[in-house]
Amino acid sequence: MDLKWVPEDEGAADGANDAVVGAIRQLIRDKNKKAVRKVLAHWPPENIMELLVRLPLKAARKLLEILPDQTSSRVLSELRPQYRAAITRDETVERLRELIRRMPPENALDTFRDLPDDVQDRLGPDLKSFEGIQASRAFEKESAGEIMQRRHVALAPDRSAAEAVEALQRASDMIGSVDTVFVIDADNRPIGAFKPRALLLVPPDTPLSKIMSREFPIVSSATDQEEAALATAGTEFKSLPVVDNDGRLVGQITTKMLARVVAEEAAEDMLKLGGVNEDARPTDSVPKILRNRLPWLLAGLVGATIAALIIGSFEEELEKAAILAAFIPVVMSMAGNAGLQASVVSVQALAMGSNWPGDRLIYRFGRELLGALLNGAIAGSILASLILGGSLVFEVADPVRLALATSMSLLTVTTIAAIVGSFVPLALNRLGIDPAAATGVFITTSNDVVGVLVYFLMASTFYF
């Protein structure tokens, strides 16, 4: 049986999905669990969530019991709190509890963190035996302490390479693959680190103090997870030691978790650059869509209104040469694209931990300026050629002056937009403002206003 869910934004979705709901209900009534699992095996969690909401409550509970444990946990994280509370009976929570207990520690922590807060609260008291879950809940949200794994390999500096190999062998069953071994002093403070492969390159009796590197990143448990991910940039160590307020080693952030943090933060930055709140989801309700998007749209509306007022102030010029209006979208589009390109590069660089102090900042300014001038000159030359070529076919008043005005406009707005796009994120970052959140709407608005103003100033100078 091949049943597929039609997204709600596609035409005829309701009719097609009603048939799917009816077919699934019948399979549930027939207690055909195998068929239900086969049908939903490749459905994304958000589609299963929509199915659950459309089913009667009793059928939805039975479906949640039929689904594999991993799928159930992902679907629960997508459900609205009110409906989730009704659907998660004691049997469901018990299945999740057993699922987490059977998982390796790191996977269990990942699954537990993905569950909604209310489900975590119901599971938490019965998982005291699993130290990692309880410990992670004691830290701030999205902090290094919350995402760290408490199990790690840490040895004294006077231990030998042979002893380190034995320790790794013992730890492999408990932790799995080990990316970094930490060296600690008598007070459990990390003083060095090394990669396990280093043990293959030295005699067995070599002390770890001769193997370890003293240059390695360390973060405190209160450090934000994004800052923690950036701490490993440019180092050979991809697992990160986490210390408490006294500098004692309390855990590590694994390579897998760091990669996950980077991916999550990149996704959030993309949403912010697009003028959408970071918690926006494809399944958002209409009120939530309004809350997440309308403020940014209104901010853009302010900029567009200012640009329109500037255009209106040049009404006399437009009456004299209506053809000028045809090139307003060209100039505004070039300004917007140039600014967006530059700002995305800057935000990405900041996200990766790059900064440009002193002479490096001057060098980057010169590089961006030269690149913007070349881009603007090439784009302006192409537009001028098109205008002059078009004047041979269509009647254009004073095509040479028009080509000069529009090409100079493109050169100027592209240069200004690229410089503003490059350095506004840096300035916002210095002021403690998230550059990804503010850059998109700021760049778009400023470029619209500046682009229109520059265009008409150039037209007044070269065309009239």
In 254-388, beta strands by DSSP E: none
408 and 462 in contact (C-beta within 8 Å)? yes
Instruction: Tell whether the model's pLDDT for residue 133 goes beyond 70.
Output: no
CATH 3.10.580.10 domain position(s) in the chain: 154-255
73 and 115 in contact (C-beta within 8 Å)? yes
Between CA 68 and CA 74, with CA 72 as vertex, the angle to 5 degrees is: 125
pLDDT tens digit sequence for 347-392: 767 766 555 555 566 777 788 888 888 988 999 899 889 988 888 8
Question: Would you say the C-alpha torsion 345, 347, 353, 358 has a positive or negative sign?
Answer: positive
Report the pLDDT value the prediction gives residue 69, as an integer from 0 to 100: 62
- Counting every residue written for the chain, the total comes to 464
36 and 56 in contact (C-beta within 8 Å)? no
Provide φ and ψ at 329, rounded to 5°.
-60, -35
Residue showing tokens 């060095």:
192
Residue type, 33: K
How far is C-alpha 160 from the chain's CA centre? 43
5-14, 80-89, 323-332: which has the minimum mean pLDDT? Answer: 80-89
Between CA 158 and CA 168, with CA 163 as vertex, the angle to 5 degrees is: 120
Query: What percent of the chain clears pLDDT 70, i.e. is strictly above it?
Result: 69
Nearest to 437 by CA among 357, 350, 352, 369: 350
Q: How far apart are CA 248 and CA 300, in angstroms?
A: 49
Tokens for 23, please give them.
């077919």
Maximum distance among all Cα pairs of the chain, rounded to whole angstroms = 90
* Confidence band of 82 (pLDDT split at 50, 70, 90): very low
CB neighbour class for 346 (10 Å; exposed up to 12, middle 13-18, buried from 19): buried
Highest mean pLDDT among 13-27, 127-141, 439-453: 13-27
DSSP string, 338-359: HHHHHHHHHHHHHHTT----TH
Report the pLDDT value the prediction gives residue 283, as an integer from 0 to 100: 56
303 and 449 in contact (C-beta within 8 Å)? yes
CATH 1.10.357.20 domain position(s) in the chain: 286-462
Beta partners for 149? Answer: 252
DSSP three-state, residue 214: coil
Nearest to 233 by CA among 195, 262, 203: 262
Q: What is the CATH number of domain 286-462?
A: 1.10.357.20
Report the pLDDT value the prediction gives residue 127, as an integer from 0 to 100: 57
pLDDT tens digit sequence for 286-297: 777 777 677 777
Tell me the mean pLDDT in the region 302-308.
80
Tokens for 153, please give them.
């390999």
Residue showing tokens 């000028």:
324
Beta partners for 243? Answer: 220, 249
**What is the average pLDDT score of the chain?**
76
Nearest to 150 by CA among 223, 219, 252: 252
Query: What DSSP designation does 274 have?
Result: T
CATH 1.25.60.10 domain position(s) in the chain: 13-142
Report the pLDDT value the prediction gives residue 9, as an integer from 0 to 100: 52
Element (H, E) at 48: helix 45-54
Q: How far apart are CA 147 and CA 257, in angstroms?
A: 7
Q: How far apart are CA 99 and CA 380, in angstroms?
A: 63
Higher pLDDT among residues 397 and 377, named by residue: 377
Report the pLDDT value the prediction gives residue 190, as an integer from 0 to 100: 93
Domain boundaries 13-142, CATH class: mainly alpha
Report the pLDDT value the prediction gives residue 382, as an integer from 0 to 100: 92
Element (H, E) at 191: strand 190-194
* Confidence band of 116 (pLDDT split at 50, 70, 90): low
Task: Return the CATH architecture of domain 154-255.
Answer: Roll (3.10)
Q: How far apart are CA 219 and CA 148, in angstroms?
A: 11
Q: How far apart are CA 106 and CA 254, in angstroms?
A: 9
* Confidence band of 31 (pLDDT split at 50, 70, 90): confident
Tokens for 266, please give them.
């990149």
Beta partners for 190? Answer: 184
Instruction: Tell whether the model's pLDDT for residue 41 goes beyond 70.
Output: yes
100-109, 232-241, 370-379: which has the minimum mean pLDDT? Answer: 100-109
